[in-house]
């Protein structure tokens, strides 16, 4: 399971899913049990998944999912053994099923379980400033420091030798060793997952976590959203400057250097040893290769292969950009 924190209320039967999606169907497989929901790559024979874009056709053909929420246009891309659930709006339908399996993942309610750290088991283990609050299901390693007015909300694991600055809020996160999170960061809150409907915007449940690997530094006032169906991950030895936003499901590799005010839209994958200049924007669902360099202020709207330097909007090969802007 992607998230160790949210309770899964499965299994559901396919007939329960048909009912949620208002599908009237006579089907011999309606009693098949669905235990979880996952993306095409991660889904097992007990899971349901979804397919809504040409970009994911390669993964669709090899998915192991028992069932898939999709449209007529994509049903032929799925294995024969995968039950196709045909709907008009794949993403909204997927959100509805996820909410049934994980009803407590939609809203980030105020964590009223928090206590002053001086009244918890960490009072003699952690160095802390004034007005530090700690929620339920929190683990903190040795030699850690937490600054003034910070809140470690429910479902957080912090490793050894970590520094949490002042005015920081963290929840639903797994933080490894030697991590430094500077003042004003918000980590692990729900992502900006909305799907427009004719009557209202429909919020997508966020059942993933934030994983921050060893030796990472996160600059002041940065925000990192937890994943939706997968996790948001920051790789080892990566340094983030101030005021960076990382949306749900983004995966940033190892040894990356990212300057201030860079924004990452959801589900993009960033390779190792990537350098990104300030105020660049990375669109969603992209793959940025290893050893890529992206100039400041660039707008990246398509995949970038390994060992490439780009700049501009839309981002293009650096040599071409410089030639055109002499």
Per-residue confidence in pLDDT tens, the chain, 326 aa: 455 788 899 899 999 999 999 998 777 677 889 999 999 988 999 999 999 988 889 999 999 999 999 999 999 999 999 999 999 999 999 999 999 999 887 767 777 889 999 999 999 999 999 999 999 999 999 999 999 999 999 999 999 999 999 999 999 999 999 999 999 999 999 988 887 777 778 788 889 999 999 999 999 999 999 998 889 999 999 999 999 999 999 999 999 999 999 999 999 999 999 999 999 999 999 999 999 999 999 999 999 999 999 999 999 999 888 888 87
Question: Do 66 and 178 share a structural domain?
Answer: no
Number of domains in the chain: 2
Cα distances from 323 to residues 29, 295, 317, 318, 319, in angstroms, run: 61, 15, 10, 9, 6
Task: Give a yes or no: residue 106 inside a domain.
Answer: no
Per-residue confidence (pLDDT) for residue 201, from 0 to 100: 80
Owner of token pair 């660049």: 280
Task: Give a yes or no: residue 1 inside a domain.
Answer: no
**CATH code assigned at 147:** 2.160.10.10
Question: Do 287 and 151 share a structural domain?
Answer: yes
Question: Do 156 and 19 share a structural domain?
Answer: no
Question: Do 255 and 231 share a structural domain?
Answer: yes
Question: Do 138 and 40 share a structural domain?
Answer: no
Query: Domain boundary at 101, 127, 143, which?
Result: 101
Per-residue confidence (pLDDT) for residue 3, from 0 to 100: 56
Question: Do 298 and 199 share a structural domain?
Answer: yes
What distance in Å separates the CA atoms of residue 290 and residue 139, rounded to the nearest whole number? 33
Transcribe 117-180 into DSSP letters.
GGGSTTTTTSEE-TT-EE-SSEEE-SS-EE-TT-EE-SSEEE-SS-EE-TT-EE-SEEE-SS-E
Question: Do 70 and 121 share a structural domain?
Answer: no
Task: Give a yes or no: residue 109 inside a domain.
Answer: no
Per-residue confidence (pLDDT) for residue 1, from 0 to 100: 45
Rg of the chain over CA atoms, in angstroms?
Answer: 21
- pTM of the shown model: 0.92
Query: Domain boundary at 101, 135, 156, which?
Result: 101
Task: Give a yes or no: residue 108 inside a domain.
Answer: no
Question: Do 156 and 96 share a structural domain?
Answer: no
Question: Do 84 and 155 share a structural domain?
Answer: no
Task: Give a yes or no: residue 46 inside a domain.
Answer: yes
Quick check: 278 and 262 in contact, CB under 8 A?
yes
Range of the structural domain that residue 76 is part of: 12-101
Q: Which are the catalytic amino acids?
A: 248
Per-residue confidence (pLDDT) for residue 229, from 0 to 100: 85
Per-residue confidence (pLDDT) for residue 167, from 0 to 100: 98
**CATH code assigned at 21:** 3.40.1390.10
Please report, to the nearest 10 degrees, the dihedral formed by the alpha carbons of residues 241, 154, 2, 76 taken in order: -90
Per-residue confidence (pLDDT) for residue 6, from 0 to 100: 84
Check the CA dihedral 59-7-169-194 and report its sign: positive
Question: Do 146 and 278 share a structural domain?
Answer: yes
Cα distances from 38 to residues 58, 218, 227, 278, in angstroms, run: 16, 29, 12, 34
Per-residue confidence (pLDDT) for residue 72, from 0 to 100: 94
What distance in Å separates the CA atoms of residue 5 and residue 28, rounded to the nearest whole number? 35
Task: Give a yes or no: residue 110 inside a domain.
Answer: no
Question: Do 148 and 278 share a structural domain?
Answer: yes
Quick check: 66 and 46 in contact, CB under 8 A?
yes
Query: Domain boundary at 101, 132, 157, which?
Result: 101
Question: Do 203 and 119 share a structural domain?
Answer: yes
Task: Give a yes or no: residue 7 inside a domain.
Answer: no
Task: Give a yes or no: residue 4 inside a domain.
Answer: no
> 132 Cβ partners below 8 Å, 6+ apart?
116, 117, 146, 147, 148, 149, 150, 151, 152
Per-residue confidence (pLDDT) for residue 108, from 0 to 100: 76
């Amino acid at each position: 399971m992607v998230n160790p924190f949210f309770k899964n209320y499965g299994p559901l039967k396919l007939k329960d899913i048909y009912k949620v999606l208002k599908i009237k169907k006579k089907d011999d497989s309606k009693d098949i049990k669905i235990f979880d929901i996952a993306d095409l790559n991660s889904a097992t024979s007990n899971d349901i998944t979804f397919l809504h874009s040409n970009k994911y056709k390669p993964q669709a053909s090899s998915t192991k999912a028992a069932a898939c929420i999709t449209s007529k246009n994509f049903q032929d891309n799925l294995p024969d053994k995968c039950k196709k659930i045909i709907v008009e709006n794949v993403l909204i339908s997927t959100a509805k099923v996820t909410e049934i399996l994980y009803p407590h993942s939609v809203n980030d309610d105020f964590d009223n379980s928090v206590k002053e750290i001086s009244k918890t088991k960490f009072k003699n283990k952690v160095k802390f400033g004034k007005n530090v609050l700690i929620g339920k299901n929190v683990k903190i390693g040795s030699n850690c420091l937490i600054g003034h007015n910070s809140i470690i909300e429910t479902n957080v694991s912090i490793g050894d030798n970590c520094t949490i600055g002042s005015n920081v809020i963290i929840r639903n996160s797994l933080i490894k060793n030697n991590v430094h999170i500077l003042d004003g960061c918000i980590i692990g809150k729900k992502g900006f997952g909305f799907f427009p409907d004719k009557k209202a915007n429909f919020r997508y449940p966020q059942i993933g976590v934030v994983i921050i690997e060893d030796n990472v530094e996160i600059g002041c006032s940065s925000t990192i959203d937890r994943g939706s169906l997968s996790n948001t991950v920051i790789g080892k030895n990566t340094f983030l400057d101030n005021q960076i936003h990382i949306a749900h499901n983004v995966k940033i590799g190892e040894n990356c250097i990212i300057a201030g005010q860079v924004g990452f839209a959801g589900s993009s994958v960033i390779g190792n040893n990537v350098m990104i200049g300030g105020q660049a924007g990375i669109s969603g669902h992209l793959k940025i290769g290893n050893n890529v360099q992206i100039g400041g202020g660039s707008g990246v709207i398509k995949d970038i292969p390994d060992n490439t330097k780009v700049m501009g909007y839309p981002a293009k090969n650096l040599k071409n950009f410089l030639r055109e802007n002499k």
